[in-house]
Structure 1
Amino acid sequence: MSDAVEYTFAHFERIAEENRFPENASIEHDSNMCLICHPENIPGDSFKFCLDLIVSCILKRRPRIDESLIEAVNEEMEMLGEDYRITLQELLNEEPEAVKAWQMWARSSINTGLEMLSMHSQNAPYYQLDDLDESRSQYVRQKLEEFFRLQKGTSTT
């Protein structure tokens, strides 16, 4: 991993840990090292880089499946007008409705993170999870599966 990649991940993960993501554009940092300030230097596909970065940041805030996460998922379901609510055990047991609710929460969280990331600098790329080509859609599916496994792997029952 290059120094700029490491710097960018460390910078945004720290912001996520401090729950300051909405104000990320105003937090002092080395803009010369920041790959969101200089997306032209991002190695490979910038969408995949940004997705990896946002998922990593969300994992800093919500590293495991626990009651706090269940509350966030249920709040998301309510905002979406869904009547279904999940329990911790349903998600840990990977019951289909619970996993679907988690996926809706995860996609919404990622989209929000991508949107906030796009406001970081005037050069920051703007991405959303909708209307992606097949390659990127497949990457999102893989990343969501990895995200779920990482959260579940650090959970305690």
Structure 2
Amino acid sequence: MTDHGPRPTAPAEHRTRLLDRRTVVPKATLAFDLGVSERSVRRASDRRREADRPRSVTSCAADGDKPVDRLAVGRSMERFIASRIAAYERAALAGTDDEPERTARTVGHYARALSLIRAYMAEIEKDREDDAGPPARSLAELRDELRRHLERLWDESRAGERDRGA
């Protein structure tokens, strides 16, 4: 193994930029640039990927047989997208954004997705209100209605028999 000299120590903002790169960088190169082991880079990458994963997806995958609360999934997606937009805004305000045009397009896509999700959630809430309908009847009310219906059928059949017999 060749000696590359002393490992550089990168300032915190440089480390963050290296970890947030959108390009593919070999872990060995990234580890050398950061002054850490490849294993540390791999663990940080795994933690970051796990943190970015929407919680609703992991919970839905675990509970495949249970019905999914569409409103809860929509709220989770709304929180996730809002957090991503806020992260891009913080990066832009801090001046750490390397590609502002790409970021602007990404934020635009997120904003459109957020509006679609909000419209979807409004539709779900409207459906829930429509489905609520009148309150369920009690057993006594159902029994009384069935009795009246059967009595009406009985009276109609008796009236039909009298008309045919006369």
TM-score per shorter chain, which class? under 0.3
> Which structure dedicates a bigger proportion of its chain to helix?
2
Normalization by structure 2: what TM-score?
0.26
Larger Rg: 2
Indicate the structure whose relative CO is greater, using CA pairs within 8 Å and at least 6 residues apart.
1
- TM-score using structure 1 length: 0.27
